[in-house]
A and B are shown apart, each in its own frame.
Chain A
Amino acid sequence: NAGVMQNPRHLVRRRGQEARLRCSPMKGHSHVYWYRQLPEEGLKFMVYLQKENIIDESGMPKERFSAEFPKEGPSILRIQQVVRGDSAAYFCASSPPSIDTEAFFGQGTRLTVV
């Protein structure tokens, strides 16, 4: 059973471009979470999704950021018109439907905005 797969592992974008980060959850996992890690900081929750539904987006910036988890395919975190402050490591985690099972993290996508 493969773990949580994130791609790309490293992404470089120029200011103003779009960044698309992909996350394939573990087999049997229908819950996906996105976290952002800024330098010298812990992980900050961004969004929690189930298939075709956004459950909690309280940590998402109000503009330029969006997330989806379609019925088929990976979850996508999309950042439009990136700025230097978006440079960070973005981690995806997944968990099965039961709420008492911990989430498993991917290796992250390191976004650099130049």
Chain B
Amino acid sequence: EVQLVESGGGLVQPGGSLRLSCAASGFTFSSYWMHWVRQAPGKGLVWVSRINSDGSSTSYADSVKGRFTISRDNAKNTLYLQMNSLRAEDTAVYYCARSPDYGDYAFVNWFDPWGQGTLVTVSS
């Protein structure tokens, strides 16, 4: 069974740091791009970041650029999101999701599957 399981969420003070993990199983992790998507309470989905299959290329939403770092360990089948300088507006459920390795210019792409999400709360 293809599965993604996030962990690492919790309560953190503004300005603090947190590292999220996403453990993958049931597929060849190193053959897929991976993404983080977040959802603030009662709000819509927001794409956060992506990493290519070998970890050599990353991209970020403007709202997190310079504060968040996406990485992966293909030997451990695990995706990470290092979040620094956290703000109240980063409070959200963070999902990891898989996409096919079609490169940056593919005209078709999709996210499937998604993990169950991990809640990050930034508050004093």
Tell whether A pairs with B. Answer: no
